[in-house]
Amino acid sequence: MSAKKWNLIVTGGLMAVLVLLSGFTAFIDPFLHFSSGRGFLEYPLKDERYQNDGIARYYDYDSIITGTSMCQNFSCSEFNTLMCAVAIKIASSGASYHESSENISRALSRHDGIKNVLCSLDGNLLNSPAFSETYDGYPTYLYDDNPFNDVNYLLNKEVIPKTIAVLNYTRSGQKTTTMDEYGSWSQYAAFGKESVLASYNQLDESDEMLVLTEDDLQQIRENVNVNFAELANAYPDTAFYLFFPPYSICYWETLVRTKQLDAQLEAQKAAVELLLTAPNIQVYDFSYRIDIIENLDNYTDTLHYGEWINSEILQMIAAGEGRLTDERLTEYYDTIKKMYSEYDYTQYRD
């Protein structure tokens, strides 16, 4: 056999393998890039940054739940009942405001008639650049409409196990992960004082008060404006429900000990003032719910609460409880400042 013929056979064989491999991935489609999934297959949904965009492209819905791990335990079926909606959940652990905003923007641009958007406003992400990202290696080839960079999906050796996992998942008799289950971690976590205090690094008291500069305030306003206010203004028929999560009492103690309480509340107030300029944005703050916050049985660490608190948040939003308005903004944050600056932080350890 001549060298030329041998090279042609080897090249042809390699090409055939690549075509079969890419076809196999495209057909099974574990990341739902081309469809909502094959009807005879069941899909384990657990790779949020890889599957969220496919869910947002192909699922039927009129409402979106997104944000960070503060939103992963929300029940879409409870949201649907309370809001007369059909929701998808496309949250991601540690998502920046920009990532959440991009999730919302892509969904709104591809679907008409989106009624509601629910998203967390994690306080520790406020003073960040508007286009900041908190995750390395975003699979942007899954997010755009460029068919040529799909090669990164179709011929990706790390996707092969995910493709096989769909077949094994189906063969084992399991069902495609529901939107209630998707991303939810509450059932796997340990809750209570012992768990929280084990993760709590009590910082030494600071001598110097943190003061926000004008540059800080400008960055905070730009962050919420670019990622939420401008988006809400572009979709005036969509209601945006944004909320500051109820972090545990340990979080507030840290702010007090490090003299960051005033700065944090000033940042939140500045953000809310700007967000409320969009008439279809409602902002909620649950920092006043001291009954939730001081009860460490609700938490697995200093920030993360159980799914029963997600349920309570939904019920409060549906009832309009904790909603901030321009008229009561100053009074509200003055009350929160007094509440946590005067709180006896020794009592929750007893």
Q: Helix, strand, coil % (nearest 5) of the chain? A: 50, 5, 40
Q: Which of 197-211, 285-299, 330-344 has the lowest mean pLDDT?
A: 197-211
Q: What pLDDT is recorded for position 136?
A: 81
Token pair for 12: 């042809």
Helices 160-171 and 3-28 sit at what angle, rounded to 10 degrees?
50
Q: Is 51 part of a structural domain of the chain?
A: no
Token pair for 186: 């509450």
Q: Please state the rounded mean pLDDT for residues 200-218.
A: 90
Burial status of residue 236 (CB atoms within 10 A of its CB: 0-12, 13-18, 19 or more): exposed
Other beta carbons within 10 Å of 11: 10
Q: Please state the rounded mean pLDDT for residues 201-224.
A: 92
Q: What pLDDT is recorded for position 129?
A: 96
Q: What pLDDT is recorded for position 17?
A: 60
Q: Is 83 part of a structural domain of the chain?
A: yes
d(C-alpha 166, C-alpha 168), whole Å: 6
d(C-alpha 134, C-alpha 128), whole Å: 10
| pLDDT of 203 higher than 90 | no
| pLDDT of 13 higher than 80 | no
Total residue count of the chain as it appears in this document:
350
Helices 48-58 and 97-110 sit at what angle, rounded to 10 degrees?
20
- Which pLDDT tens digit goes with each residue over 108-124? 999 999 999 999 999 99
Among the listed residues 149, 140, 161, 83, the one whose alpha carbon sits nearest the alpha carbon of residue 116: 83
Other beta carbons within 10 Å of 179: 23
In the chain, the percentage of residues whose pLDDT exceeds 70 is: 94
Q: Is 33 part of a structural domain of the chain?
A: no
Q: Is 216 part of a structural domain of the chain?
A: yes
Return the CATH number at 91.
3.40.50.1110
d(C-alpha 115, C-alpha 67), whole Å: 17
d(C-alpha 228, C-alpha 7), whole Å: 56
Q: Range of 280's domain?
A: 58-145+175-349
What is the per-residue DSSP string for 135-160? SSS--GGGTS--GGGGHHHHT-TTTH
Q: Please provide residue 284's backbone torsions phi and psi, each rounded to the nearest 5 degrees.
A: -120, 145
d(C-alpha 313, C-alpha 65), whole Å: 13
| pLDDT of 9 higher than 60 | no
| pLDDT of 333 higher than 90 | yes
Mean pLDDT of the chain: 94
- Which pLDDT tens digit goes with each residue over 161-202? 999 999 999 999 999 999 999 999 999 999 999 999 998 987
Q: What pLDDT is recorded for position 71?
A: 98
Dihedral angle, C-alpha 153, 157, 159, 163, nearest 10 °: 120
Residue 135's contacts (CB-CB under 8 Å, 6 or more residues apart) are 49, 92, 94, 95, 99
Q: Is 132 part of a structural domain of the chain?
A: yes
- Which pLDDT tens digit goes with each residue over 277-288? 999 999 999 999
Q: Is 161 part of a structural domain of the chain?
A: no
Q: Is 235 part of a structural domain of the chain?
A: yes
Q: Which residues pair with 63 in a beta bridge?
A: 87, 116
Token pair for 301: 């660490």
Q: What pLDDT is recorded for position 16?
A: 60
Token pair for 236: 């005036």
Confidence (pTM):
0.94
Other beta carbons within 10 Å of 26: 15
Number of structural domains (the chain) is 1
- The pLDDT-based confidence of 25 (bands split at 50, 70, 90) is very high
3-class secondary structure, 197: helix
Q: Is 82 part of a structural domain of the chain?
A: yes
Q: Please state the rounded mean pLDDT for residues 336-348.
A: 93
Alpha helix ranges (H) inside the chain: 3-28, 48-58, 76-83, 97-110, 151-154, 160-171, 193-199, 214-224, 230-234, 249-257, 261-275, 290-293, 307-319, 329-341
What is the per-residue DSSP string for 81-127? HHHT--EEE---TT--HHHHHHHHHHHHHH-S---EEEEE--GGGSS
- Which pLDDT tens digit goes with each residue over 41-94? 999 999 999 999 999 999 999 999 999 999 999 999 999 999 999 999 999 999
- Which pLDDT tens digit goes with each residue over 249-276? 999 999 999 999 999 999 999 999 999 9
d(C-alpha 158, C-alpha 31), whole Å: 12
Among the listed residues 275, 317, 269, 250, the one whose alpha carbon sits nearest the alpha carbon of residue 123: 269
